[in-house]
Amino acid sequence: MRMDFATIGGIFAGLFVVGLAIAMSGAVAIFFNMPSFLIVIGGAISATVLRFPIDEVFAALATGAKTAFFDHRKSPGDILEELRTLAQISRRQGPMGLERAPVSDPFLARGKQMIADGLSTEHLRTQLTRERELEIQRLVDGEKIFRAIGEAAPAFGMIGTIVGLVKMLSTMEDPSTIGPAMAIALLTTLYGALVAYAVALPIA
């Protein structure tokens, strides 16, 4: 398992560009607001939990991070080469010889072990097909959950904006409250967009 530097680089490049623009403005501290952050993150996660079972949500968060930041993909050529090597070992040494053969792909490794254990071809096909379908479904569910987070984050950013504007308009007689209220109003929109378009949707 190796790091997927393309995904990592893409996410951090997007965040870096925004961070650089903030740093160049010379007022970094004003772009950090905990209430705005809680509205976006808490709201997006809460909305997602309402749509999906909570255990699936947390499993998808772990799977999404692992899949996004670590490259598990093997090229068809690499897989065919491994299959060719395993076939040669099986012909020369029989099924027992497969037990000692190194295999980098986890799916192939399970199939190899089943052959070494003497399981029938039909059982092997049924078991591996079921495992592959479950793995595909798990990844599809993870994609749906990250897309749900990506859809909810900007919406809660807008909710935070409305909250900030209402607070600002209700206290117009006190100029000292206008700044903090406006910060919540604008920063929640920013946070919602960043969570959606720089993190959740790219992972999905």
Per-residue pLDDT of 62-104, as tens digits, reads 887 777 766 566 677 777 788 788 878 878 877 777 777 777 7
Distance separating alpha carbons of residues 65 and 86, to the nearest angstrom: 32
Same domain, 11 and 45: yes
Same domain, 39 and 14: yes
Q: Tens of pLDDT along the chain (204 residues)? A: 555 566 667 777 777 777 777 777 666 777 788 888 889 999 999 999 999 988 888 888 888 777 776 656 667 777 778 878 887 887 887 777 777 777 777 788 888 888 777 778 888 888 888 988 888 888 888 889 999 999 999 999 999 888 888 877 887 777 777 777 777 778 889 899 988 988 888 887
Same domain, 11 and 109: no
Same domain, 10 and 66: yes
On whether the CB atoms of residues 108 and 79 are closer than 8 A, the answer is: yes
Domain final residue pick, 85, 117, 134: 134
Distances (CA, A) of 115 to 16, 53, 95, 175: 49, 37, 6, 76
On whether the CB atoms of residues 146 and 200 are closer than 8 A, the answer is: yes
Residue range(s) defining the domain that contains residue 130: 76-134
The C-alpha angle 18, 58, 32, rounded to 5 degrees, equals 30
Residue 134: other Cβ atoms inside 10 A: 10
Amino acid identity, position 130:
R
Q: What pLDDT score was predicted for residue 123?
A: 84
Same domain, 58 and 149: yes
Same domain, 67 and 80: no
Q: What pLDDT score was predicted for residue 15?
A: 74
Q: What pLDDT score was predicted for residue 47?
A: 92
Same domain, 151 and 66: yes
Number of domains composing the chain: 2
Same domain, 7 and 68: yes
pTM of the entire structure?
0.72
Same domain, 146 and 66: yes
Q: What pLDDT score was predicted for residue 26?
A: 67
Domain final residue pick, 134, 162, 182: 134
Domain final residue pick, 134, 156, 182: 134
Same domain, 130 and 174: no
In 3-state terms, what secondary structure has residue 117? Answer: coil
Cα dihedral 50→55→56→57 (10° resolution) = 60
Same domain, 159 and 182: yes
Distance separating alpha carbons of residues 188 and 162, to the nearest angstrom: 10
Same domain, 103 and 23: no
